[in-house]
Amino acid sequence: MSPDERRRAIIEATLPLLIANGPELSTKEIAKAAGIAEGTIFRVFETKAELVHATLDAALAPTEAMDALAALPDGQPLTDRLAAIIQIVSDEIARTRSLFAAVFGSRPHEGPPKPTNHRPHTDRLRIIRTGLADALAPYTDQLSASIERTSQLIVAVSVAGRMFSTDHQLEDPAEWAELLAHGIAKGKQ
């Protein structure tokens, strides 16, 4: 097994244990689940904290969201594209929140000590921004704001739709898309 394959296998074995037990899981449990000796973990990861963070980083990778953004059909009307993007981003936020809730529950949000090379959300945000820019690129001539600004607004709407509704659901992405595309004022301004 190559070092990358071994690393992936350990991370894959760790995720269900992390969700079930939180960051207090033992390396003995991880080794058993991965079918390896406990010492093998520390030949791949310097510390258990590094393994926990690598597992969270892998689980939080926005792979499904990026695939969904890339699969949006060509030629959609702008508001349909915005509604689809808002739904994808909102679903990604919900997935991330549910993972954190499963792992950390009501425990203090400290988690294990961070590895020195840990960049918590920077890479994920860059990946999502790239996906949003690609999904919006065909509509540049229809936007009054830059793709970067439009992406920021989409993320803000998606977060607000998840965070501030009573059931933590984005009620109607099409309505949010209409408001984003056409504003809240009636008639021409």
User: pLDDT per residue over 10-49, tens digit each?
Assistant: 999 999 998 888 888 899 999 999 999 999 999 999 999 8
Q: What percent of the chain lies above the pLDDT cut of 90?
A: 48
Where are the CATH 1.10.10.60 domain residues in the chain?
Answer: 3-58
The CATH class given to the 3-58 domain equals mainly alpha
Whole-Å CA distances, 156 to 30, 139, 148 = 37, 20, 12
Options 1.10.357, 1.10.10, 2.20.25, 1.10.155; which CATH number does 61-182 get? 1.10.357
Question: What DSSP state is assigned to residue 145?
Answer: S
Report the alpha-carbon distance of residue 189 to residue 133 in Å, rounded.
28
Where are the CATH 1.10.357 domain residues in the chain?
Answer: 61-182
More confident residue, 170 or 147: 147
Tokens of 84: 């689809």
pTM of the model: 0.78
